[in-house]
Amino acid sequence: MALCFALCLAVLAGCGGDPVPDAAGREVRALLAQRAHAVLTGDARAYERTERTAAGGADLFENVRDVPLSSWEYRLTRLDHSGAKATASVRLRYRVKGYDRAPLTARRTLSLTRDDGRWYVTAERPAKKSGEQLWDQGRVTAERGERSLVLGVGRSAAELRTHREIADRAVPAVRAAWPGGWPERVVVLVPRSLDGMAGLLGAPASGYRGIAAVTTGEAGGSGSSPADRIIINPDAYGVLGDFGKQVVLTHETTHVATRAQTSAATPLWLSEGFADWVGYRDTGRTAAQAAPELRRAVLDGRVPKALPEDDDFGFGGDADALAQSYEGAWLACRMIAERWGERKLTDFYRAVGGHKRRAGAVEDALRDVLDTTPEDFTARWRTYLRSELG
């Protein structure tokens, strides 16, 4: 039994090489293994035995307690120690039960102190230049749905239930447009504020002001980002009506579904336009209703000459221009679905994403899937804008 427990501790601490080979390193790895096991099993007493936290410090154990975890492991990568004080750099690997197919990795920094011949954790925080985890912002509350898990900090139970209901409706809507090849389940994070959203993304809040939600990890299928999270900006999302909230979460769920088929070869007009097409699919909204900014431009004689470039989708710039880029991208995908069929639209998306590089990806897919050229497609799109918005 003792050997079995020792092996479990070794697995929890991480295997493969020993970046910190001295005695202090071995002791700290054992401490981290005990801490990880306590978090995973919900053993409060065992967790307390790993800590010497100052009064008023963040309580990670309580903050993460409602999160359904299937794994939680620390791997020590660096240890700087002098006397009874130390700083440990670690990689936290964890999985949310029933949702993550592989562990997510977060870089963490732990402050340590040595007392009575043992090391203790005095603080745990995100590593420098790393994004926060939701539990760094406070106690997490979980709402479990049939197809979704909503995790929130500082939000009411009623609000989280509403998010859960919307997410549960989004999944089958996306499945109908993009069948198979994805888990058909989503994790939604709801921080306390815009600043909380920015903390999770490790980016300035100014870049996401007015953005209702984003999805992390949607680009590429390499496995380096093994799970997606839909992160809601409660400030912007909260002012939307029921219809707008549903479109936003369906849009973001589409990114979750298509991530494995979205690559560096996929232009943003296609990934964002497709997500909007799924979001508006079967809602009955007309082009004029769903593309008001672009309609104003078309009525003013300013029909775009070309499909939006990736830079046109940058946050924090001209809001009207950004809206026109999204609307034009949506209408390009809507045109494909109407002119060539919905199956051709999904085939086109997969073909572009399956290309080895950006150069030639759209051109080849236009030729092979839609039997057209970039020039002809653009001309058709401009005519479509005039007919739908003019």
Measured in degrees and rounded to the nearest 5, phi and psi for residue 89 equal: -95, 125
The DSSP 8-state label assigned to residue 112 in this structure reads E
Taking CA atoms, 128 is separated from 57, 60, 106, 132, 207, in Å, by 19, 18, 11, 10, 20
Pick the CATH number of 131-260 from 3.60.21.10, 3.30.2010.30, 3.30.200.20, 3.40.50.300: 3.30.2010.30
Query: φ, ψ for residue 389 (rounded to 5)?
Result: -115, -15
Positive/negative CA dihedral, 350, 351, 357, 358: negative
pLDDT score of 5: 33
Interatomic CA distance for residues 107 and 348, integer angstroms: 37
Domain ranges within the chain, ordered by starting residue: 2-129, 131-260, 263-390
Is the CB of residue 307 less than 8 Å from the CB of residue 272?
Answer: no
Phi, psi of 290 (to 5 degrees): -95, -10
Secondary structure class of 138 (helix, strand, coil): coil
Q: Which of 248, 216, 203, 213 is nearest to 233 (CA)?
A: 213
**C-alpha count within 13 angstroms, C-beta hemisphere, residue 389:** 29
What pLDDT sits at residue 361? Answer: 97
Tokens of 155: 């939000």
Topology annotation, domain 2-129? Nuclear Transport Factor 2; Chain: A, (3.10.450)
Q: Give, in degrees to the nearest 5, the angle at Cα 166 between 187 and 212.
A: 75
- Residue 118, SS3? strand
Q: What is the pTM (predicted TM-score) of this model? A: 0.90
The dihedrals phi and psi of 176, each to the nearest 5 degrees, come to -65, -30
Q: Which two tokens stand for residue 359?
A: 């150069």
Query: Which residue pairs, CB below 8 angstroms and at least 24 apart, start in 377-384?
Result: 378/306, 378/307, 380/335, 380/339, 381/307, 381/328, 381/331, 381/332, 381/335, 382/303, 382/304, 382/305, 384/331, 384/335
- Ranges of the chain with pLDDT below 50: 1-17, 218-224
